[in-house]
Amino acid sequence: MSVPTSTTEEPLSLLVQKWLEWDRNPETRAEIEQLQKAGATAELELRLRQRIQFGTAGLRGRMAAGFSCMNSLTVIQASQGLAKYIRDKHSDIAPNGVVIGHDARHNSAKFAALAANAFIAMGIPVWYYSKPTLTPSVPFGVTHVRAAAGVMITASHVCLLTIRAVTRAKRSDTDDLVDRTQPKTTVTKCSAHASLIQMDDADWWTRYFKNGAQINTPMDVEIAQSIDNNLEPWPNAWDSLEATAYLHAEALQTILPRYTEAVWNYAKSTVPSWSSPRPFMYTPLHGVGGLIFPELCRSVGITDFAAVTEQVEPNPDFPTVAFPNPEENGSLDLAMQSADKEGKTLIIANDPDADRFAAAEKVDGSWFTFTGNHLGVLLASHLFDSLEGRNDKSRIAVLNSAVSTGMLEKMARSKGFHFEETLTGFKWMGNIARRLEESGYHVPFAFEEALGYMFPDVCHDKDGVTAAMVFLAAEARWRSQGLTPYSKLQQLFKDFGYFETLNNYFRSPSPEITKSLFGAIRNGPYRTQKSLGSFKILRWRDMTEGYDSGTEDQKPALPIDKSSQMLTIWLDRDVRFTIRGSGTEPKVKVYIESCSASHAQAVDAVCDTFRTVLKEWIRPFAPSMSYSKNLPTSSGHILNID
């Protein structure tokens, strides 16, 4: 959910004047000055008329000059708004400070320093990570020092600031808190990031609140209002970050060892006894994972691995990958080549800020890349095994998102565990996990199909390093049973059914066309006639309008969001699919899943569903949308579209 973008009716000339008055970054000032001299009215309107959108995930926008983009000025404005909000609305925990970190991408360090200035100006201590770090270390740090909030500047997601919502007595001696706090489960981050579509062309600014999960409604509205009330840079906002009583500049050296210790202790706790995994190749995709994960492995005796030489050091230009996103085809090509050279048959990967995890295995001479759903159920199976013998199974809860596989629910219910579906995003999973914990549940795991895995015993957000270490623990255990990750997955399919997915997207020329597509779908006969092509519609859920034919009151159990487009439809042939507008990219995403006792039937069902969506909806209602003509399913089958 997001707060509507702020729009002003001020004359364009006044907006230009304000920008030039407030912006002290010579590069972005020059951008606006050049546009002004060129008389580029349309571009100036695009850059200055609307302010960058703030929502539950923070800020995200193109990295460029202008109020609608991510840049030094808009980071200052957002940080001032949050700092003032904490000081005014949460003064009891403001003295506990905020944790601020950054990754190794362009502008991350600069934005982190500017954010720190805003909190220091409000007399809020800053636990500052002076060197590049991974995103999960910030949420963890918030818990460790009992901070009020956390900020992570990363070029892979929005700069999020989160305030811990944990009930506690007010404290002012934050140094004492470091000594007394045990590493547990709370997170915060604020990230300014460069888009994965166009490198260093978009930024995010994200927040978490004091419960360690990302902020959620209605807090986002309150923070957005505070930002609007604090747009003009405060005195010293542009100054270099200097030593002060409010700045703990060596926080990373204190917190990071505790984080890696917590990761290792948790991974060990999932197995009866630790065994080293098989040899593997590791890649951080030019990100900060290379600064932490290899050393963590060596420190606990995992030595039979290698890192991709060309990708192990952080490099904000990502020279060896088209997109530094492990979900993208080709992102692991160099890792596969390196593994082949060294005779290794397993690949472990993190995304550039190390909050996501990917893996691939050599199977019958070819590389098989696991999907996010595959890894989710594999990790869940391993954790479920570690919970065998518990007498309180009904008080164990796991979560995944509405666009992730239904296999987790089936597995959980077979064990007597509680399962909850959430909306997409860890802002939902983190907060729901907290709610369940407060109700007496133990929540060991949650995941989303986009390679995000949450282990609340470490932190309440996705954590690629913990996921990788737990996966290695699982691999060793499966190997002792004569299994590999791939063969374990096939075993799970035999036990619970073959869950095949086809996740892809249509590229939309404009938001208007996306909205028109969903309007045409809703106005069509599909819901009333209960058919879509040759399929029968068994259930229809509209998360935009708040309708669900599968509930007694015909209202969704999940929160509705009128600002976004999302439909989930259940069909015969055991098919469920979701079609939704992306909140961050010009895409309409489709997630199709079928479960069958036959792998071939499941593949046919997801392929037939995609063809039907294309024929019945996309081509007639949005013919200008583009899409791939060769679509892979989760098992590697390729659907060719004429």
298/407 same-domain check: yes
Q: From CA 231, how far away is CA 123, in angstroms rounded?
A: 19
Please indicate, yes or no, whether residues 482 and 513 belong to a single structural domain of this protein: no
Q: Are residues 92 and 185 in the same domain?
A: yes
pLDDT score recorded for residue 391: 86
Residue 181 sits in a domain of what CATH number?
3.40.120.10
Residue 585 maps to a domain: yes
User: Are 33 and 57 in the same domain?
Assistant: no
d(CA 571, CA 133): 45
Q: What does R_g of the chain's alpha carbons equal in angstroms?
A: 24
477 shares a domain with 390: yes
Q: What percent of the chain has pLDDT over 70?
A: 88
User: What whole-number percentage of the chain has pLDDT above 90?
Assistant: 80
Examine the pLDDT at 2 and tell me if it is beyond 90: no
Answer whether 0.85 is exceeded by the pTM.
Answer: yes
Please state, in angstroms and rounded to a whole number, the distance separating the CA atoms of residues 303 and 280: 10
Are residues 469 and 200 in contact, defined by beta-carbon separation less than 8 angstroms? no
Q: Which of 204, 225, 255 is the last residue of a domain?
A: 255
Is residue 1 a part of any domain in this protein?
no
pLDDT digits (tens, 9 = 90+) for 550-564: 999 999 999 998 889
Residue where a domain terminates, one of 496, 513, 545:
496
Q: In the chain, how many domains are there?
A: 4
Of 195, 230, 255, the residue at which a domain comes to its end is 255
Q: Which amino acid is at 8?
A: T
Q: Within this chain, do residues 548 and 420 fall inside the same structural domain, yes or no?
A: no
Decide: 532 and 571 in contact? Cβ < 8 Å. yes
Whole-number Å distance between alpha carbons of 488 and 471: 12
- Under 8 Å CB-to-CB from 387, ≥6 apart: which residues? 393, 396, 415, 444
User: Is 347 in the same domain as 471?
Assistant: yes
- How far apart CA 250 and CA 441 sit, in angstroms, is 36
Q: Give the number of other Cβ atoms within 10 Å of residue 507's Cβ.
A: 14
Q: Please, what is the angle between helix 108-121 and helix 72-89, to 10°?
A: 30
Of 383, 500, 506, 391, give the one whose Cα is nearest residue 447.
Answer: 383
Tokens standing for residue 403? 């666009």
Q: Does residue 251 lie in a domain region?
A: yes
Average of per-residue pLDDT across 618-624: 98
Would you place residue 157 in the very low, low, confident or very high pLDDT band (cuts 50, 70, 90)? very low
Does 462 share its domain with 315? yes
**Per-residue pLDDT tens for 295-309?**
999 999 999 999 999
Residue 518, domain CATH: 3.30.310.50
Q: Tell me if 159 sits within 8 A of 192, measured CB to CB.
A: yes
314's CB contacts (< 8 A; 6+ apart) are 103, 104, 132, 284, 286, 287, 288, 290, 291, 352
Give the Cα separation of 627 and 609 in Å (integer).
Answer: 15
Which residue range is the domain that position 280 belongs to? Answer: 270-496
Q: In terms of domains, do 320 and 240 share one?
A: no
Q: Which of 156, 195, 381, 404 is catalytic?
A: 156
Q: For residue 195, indicate whether it is catalytic.
A: no
Reply yes or no on whether the pLDDT at 412 is more than 50.
yes
CB 358 within 8 A of CB 481: no
Any domain includes 3: no
Verify that 383 and 501 share a domain, yes or no.
no
Report H helices in 198-276. 219-228, 251-269
Instruction: Give the pLDDT confidence score for residue 80 in this predicted structure.
Output: 97
* Residue 208 reports pLDDT greater than 60: no
Quote the mean pLDDT of the chain: 89
Residues contacting residue 308 through CB under 8 Å, at least 6 positions apart: 281, 282, 283, 334, 335, 338
Same-domain pairing of 408 and 330 = yes
